[in-house]
Chains A and B, each alone.
Chain A
Amino acid sequence: MTNIYEELSWLPPAPADFPQRLARAITGQDLAQLATYSLDDNQLRRLSKKLDELKKSDRYAASLRDVTLGIVSNATTQLVAPALKGSALRFGLALEVVQTEFNQIAQIAYSGQDTFSSQAMDVVLISIDHQGLPFVQCPGDSSNASNQLQDCLQYLMTLADALHRKSNAHILLQNFAPLSENLSGSFERRLTGTWSWLLHNLNRELDLLNRSYITVVDIAGLAANVGLANWHDPTLWHIGKLSFAQRFNPVYGDWIARIVAARLGRSRRCLILDLDNTLWGGVIGDDGLEGIKIGQGDPTGEAHLALQRTALDLRDRGIVLAVSSKNEDATARSPFREHPDMLLREDHIAVFQANWSDKASNIRAIATTLSLGLESMVFVDDNPAERLQVRQALPEVAVPELPDDPALFSRTLIAAGYFESASFSEEDRKRATFYQDNAMRAAILNQSVDLESYLKSLAMEITFSPFNEVGIQRITQLISKSNQFNLTTKRYSEAEVTRLMGDPGYFTLQIRLKDTLGDNGMISVVICKLGSETWEIDTWLMSCRVLGRRVEEAALAHISQYAKAAGANKMKGCYVPTSRNALVKNHYKNLGFVQVAGDVGTESWELDLTQYRCASLPMKISDSRKSSK
């Protein structure tokens, strides 16, 4: 019996010609492609070596996002680093791993002059296991035990703070895998001062942690998934000071890489479902409404229902649902409309594509309708041939391997970790509805005679506010996740956003948009650096679901009004091209800016405010700066 986590069963098995394909790889994309297979530790190591070689060559195109990750550990990390690098490629990241000398933790935490933390790093992983904690068992001695618990917590916080302060990196802090064997058995966790008690309580403290620059990595959860007695390997600890059994390197690498990717806004956002034998048992076109298996009372029906439950739960987390099925449209929709046991209903599905075109074309159509990139998509289909076709045609789309037994569909989909997230906001909760409303707007647009009358019919209401406490979480989220409509792709942490909020040298803007079909929530963020003559736009980003609604024009009108009032006569903006923001290449040009000379790798634009006139806009405008005065 294979373990889904050890084997990364949601990924297709590595091809037999893996070494040859690796030898032929010349671009970062080639490597990212090879990383989409389930690779063992040796294959990941080869992949990471190849990445190092390619980086030195001039043919290596920077299609990957460079990320530097430091590791601090009480154990041997040299064997883990290649697995991290190899797995990160799966998420389009070219990871540079910086390691410390063995067990240099105290030096880093307490000395001012270590070489490690003065390096520039994006992320630092604190990978300490229970052997690295300052703890001596004291069964039954409550006061000693709680002192030691606080000491352990303090130790981790000191380390995290020091690393963050010196390197300005985001901190990934691992929690602790419990021990697999306990002297007193079930009673152990209740007995104060035991390892079991300590790790349980320490993990609880970490759950309650509230520091914006720390993300806790649930290693306890991963270790539990693979089995604690498998995770801890006393032989390997004694011989090489390995924290966990070497065979879990691939899943550990994936586990860490998906968090790093999520923080960079690379989690998936849309789940596309096949219907026949995926959402229900049987074929609706052949078996009919009475013949398909869905619902309680039948093991196959219950298994498919469990996948529907998972899809709905994902929708509650802000994941958009769509359908792609080879069927007649009416036939495909009938279970959603008429079958009493279906959990999923038509109005849960933002885009419904039932036709006889190939699945790749349908997925492309879904992406276009939702204004989401293909790299945001997950496609679930029981049919291996369909999965293969989509993987070949659209390599950006994640297509999990599914086992034959539908009872395991849901587990496989969740285990793949496509929807990893580092935070959860009110906007997330409502996002699926936003996209649905958007699909309806698209339908209205089809009926409207022209764009202007369409926009008018939406009765839009736009609200401008400076950054404020209530908005901080969503603002930070937009800053860390927006890739397409993002002029400079600068990323700021929650702490940095908070600092900007109170900085009189900056004009900050959060924009919300409502219309007849619903509340879009916060959809745009702008940050301007103030100068006496010139206001410089540091950040301008917008959610793609409000593209074409003239929000940019309204934003510029709003900002220019304040800039003029402050005595400025010019606005400056720049476009920093990335692999994903070609959408806004002409943003400033369209707004009437003129291109000027700028730095290498950026396009600079200027607007003469004395000449600027704003067109009338089809929306109602409210300005909280004015209303609060």
Chain B
Amino acid sequence: MLSDIDKILQKLTPIFCDVLDDDSLTITQGTTAEDIDGWDSLAHIRLVVSIEKAFNVRFSAAEISGLENVGAMAALILKKQA
């Protein structure tokens, strides 16, 4: 059985691939912006906007700038969906 976080991670992967234009990308909870080529501050905004659309959630400015890694992102999505 996949955990809820894993399910979100699974759904996040194609979004990351699409936004960062790299179909071979793999992400884990520990992945940070430093680990991925092209994940700069502008790509971060595009990522967030794409995630908001896919999960039908909305992030605040503080949340967007405070996310440390993919795990934190997934946890936040989970919390918003609850």
| A50 nearest in chain B by CB position | B21
CB-contacts of B21-72 with A (<8 A): 21, 23, 41-42, 45-46, 49-50, 53, 58-61, 64-65
Q: Give A42 to B38 CA distance when docked, in angstroms.
A: 14
A246 and B46 in contact, given A42-B18, A45-B21, A49-B21 (Cβ under 8 angstroms): yes
Query: Known contacts being A19-B23, A45-B21, is A246 close to B45, with CB within 8 Å?
Result: yes
Closest beta carbon of chain B to A233's beta carbon, Å: 9
- The CB with the most chain B CB atoms within 10 A, among A45, A46, A79, A235, is that of A235
Residue A238 interfacial (CB < 8 Å): yes
> Which chain B residue shows the least CB distance to A235?
B61
Does A79 lie within 8 Å of B60, measured CB to CB?
A: no
Does the CB pair B19–A240 fall under 8 Å?
Answer: no
User: In the assembled complex, which residues on chain A have CB atoms less than 8 Å from the CB atom of B64?
Assistant: 235, 239
Alpha-carbon separation in the docked complex, A79 to B23 (Å): 21
Chain B residues near A79: list those with CB within 8 A: 42, 45-46
Does A76 lie at the interface of the complex (its beta carbon under 8 Å from any beta carbon of B)?
yes
CB distance from B62 to the nearest CB of A (A): 9
Please determine whether A235 and B46 come into contact, CB atoms closer than 8 angstroms: no
Q: How many residue pairs at the A-B interface have CB separations less than 8 Å?
A: 39
Q: Which residue of B lies closest to A237 (CB)?
A: B61
Other-chain contact of B65, A41, A42, A78, A239 (Cβ < 8 Å): A239
**Hey, which chain A residues are within 8 Å of B53, CB to CB?**
247
Given the known inter-chain contacts A42-B50, A235-B60, please indicate yes or no for A240 contacting B42, CB distance below 8 A: yes
Interface flag for A415 (CB, 8 Å):
no
Task: Kindly state whether residue A621 has any CB partner on chain B within 8 Å.
Answer: no
Secondary structure of the B contact surface, majority rule: helix
Q: Which A28-52 residues sit within 8 Å CB-CB of chain B?
A: 41-43, 45-46, 49
Does A236 make an interface contact (CB < 8 A)? yes
Number of interface residues of B (CB under 8 A): 17
Is A242 close to B, CB under 8 A? yes
Complex: how many Å from CA A54 to CA B63?
Answer: 39
A78 in contact with B23 given A42-B18, A235-B60 (CB within 8 Å): no
Residues in B neighbouring A242, C-beta threshold 8 A: 45
Residues of the A chain whose Cβ atoms lie less than 8 Å from the Cβ of B50: 41-42
Given A19-B23, A78-B42, A240-B41: A246 in contact with B60 (beta carbons within 8 A): no
Interface residues of A in 452-475 (CB under 8 A from B): none
**Per-residue contact bits, chain A 243-269, to B (CB 8 Å; 1 contact, 0 not):** 000110000000000000000000000
Q: Chain B nearest CB: distance from A100 CB in Å? A: 16
A500–B41 CA distance with the chains assembled, in angstroms: 50
Whether A238 lies near B61 (C-beta < 8 A) is yes
CA distance A269 to B59 in the complex (A): 45
Q: How far is the CA of A246 from the CA of B58 in the complex (A)?
A: 13
Chain B residues lying within 8 Å of A43, measured Cβ to Cβ, are 18
- Chain B residues contacting A78 (CB-CB under 8 Å) are 42
Complex Cα spacing A42 to B14, Å: 12
Q: How far is the CA of A43 from the CA of B17 in the complex (A)?
A: 11
Interface bracket on A: 10 to 19
Residue of B21, B41, B49 touching A246 (CB-CB under 8 A): B49
Distance in angstroms between the alpha carbons of A265 and B53 in the assembled complex: 37
How far, in Å, is B73 (CB) from chain A's closest CB?
15
Q: How far is the CA of A239 from the CA of B64 in the complex (A)?
A: 8
Using CB atoms, name the residue of chain A closest to B17. A19
Q: Once the chains are docked, how many angstroms separate the CA of A385 from the CA of B82?
A: 43
Contact A239 B42 (CB under 8 A): no
Query: For the complex, what is the distance from the CA of A61 to the CA of B61, rounded to whole Å?
Result: 45
Take A235-B60, A235-B64, A247-B53 as given contacts and tell me if A240 and B45 are in contact as well, using a CB distance cutoff of 8 Å.
yes
CA distance A239 to B50 in the complex (A): 16
Report A370 CB to chain B, min CB distance, Å: 43
- B21 contacts A239, C-beta separation under 8 Å: no
Residues of B within 8 A of A46 (CB): 21
Which residues of A, 193-251, contact B by the 8 Å Cβ criterion? 235-236, 238-240, 242, 246-247
Bound-complex Cα distance A49 to B49 (A): 20
A247–B49 CB distance below 8 A: yes
Question: How far does the Cβ of B53 sit from chain A's closest Cβ, in whole Å?
Answer: 7
| CA distance in complex: A239, B60 (Å) | 9
Closest to A49 in B: B21
Tell me the complex Cα distance, A110–B19, Å.
Answer: 38
Contact B45 A236 (CB under 8 A): yes
Residue of B nearest to A41 (CB): B46
Q: How far is the CB of A530 from chain B (nearest CB, A)?
A: 54
B60 surroundings in chain A (CB, below 8 A): 235
* Residues of chain B lying within 8 A (CB to CB) of residue A76: 42
A46 to B53: give the CA distance in the assembly, Å.
19
Task: Give Cα A239–Cα B62 distance, bound, in whole angstroms.
Answer: 9
A residues less than 8 Å from B21 (CB atoms): 42, 45-46, 49
- In the assembled complex, the Cα of A475 lies from the Cα of B58 at a distance in Å of 53
Q: Which residue of A lies closest to B19 (CB)?
A: A42
Task: Provide the residues of chain A in CB contact with B41, threshold 8 Å.
Answer: 240
Chain A positions near chain B (C-beta within 8 angstroms): 19, 41-43, 45-46, 49, 76, 78-79, 235-236, 238-240, 242, 246-247
Q: Which 8 A-B pairs have the closest CB atoms?
A: A246-B49, A42-B18, A240-B45, A239-B61, A238-B61, A235-B61, A239-B64, A46-B21
Beyond the given A19-B23, A239-B64, A246-B49, please list 12 additional residue pairs across the A-B interface where CB-CB is below 8 A. A41-B50, A42-B18, A43-B18, A45-B21, A78-B42, A79-B42, A79-B45, A236-B45, A239-B45, A239-B65, A246-B45, A247-B49
Supply 17 A–B pairs (Cβ within 8 Å), ascending by A. A41-B46, A41-B49, A42-B46, A42-B50, A46-B21, A49-B21, A76-B42, A78-B42, A79-B46, A235-B59, A236-B45, A236-B49, A239-B45, A239-B64, A240-B42, A246-B45, A247-B49
